[in-house]
Structure 1
Amino acid sequence: LVENTTKIVAEFDGFEFINTYKIIAEEGFTKYLEEYKSKKKEDIQLPDVKIGDFLYIENKDIKEKYT
């Protein structure tokens, strides 16, 4: 299994917003395993983002995580 990962970190008004996105580049042996087939979602292409670009929020979900 080979995945490409994209992480976008946006700052606004002193707050940091993080979005991590993974896309499967090569399924490898997992394409033969049923447990992985049911979890696979359709891939969504992210737009090209450069430093300084303005981002518009379409959906929001507040998550609090502890380590």
Structure 2
Amino acid sequence: MVATLSRLFAKAIDEGELDYLEGRSVKVEAADAGVSFAFGMDDGKLIRRAIDANHDLTLTGKVYDFLLLASR
């Protein structure tokens, strides 16, 4: 998942638009699918974070909700 996000946000990462994620952790949960993952930034690269760690932000929704966000 992190590799996909890295490709998707490559330009934003290169331009420093995601620098605010440096040293932080974001967890994304698709509650209805039982799927979750966590990521953050380290040295300007997106990295996977431990799912059971404390996170600075948790986004929880249904798969449909995330599909709506992705389509915008």
The TM-score bracket by the shorter chain reads: under 0.3
TM superposition score normalised by structure 1: 0.26
Higher helix share: 2
Structure of higher RCO (CA pairs closer than 8 Å, 6+ residues apart): 2
TM-score under structure 2 length normalisation: 0.25
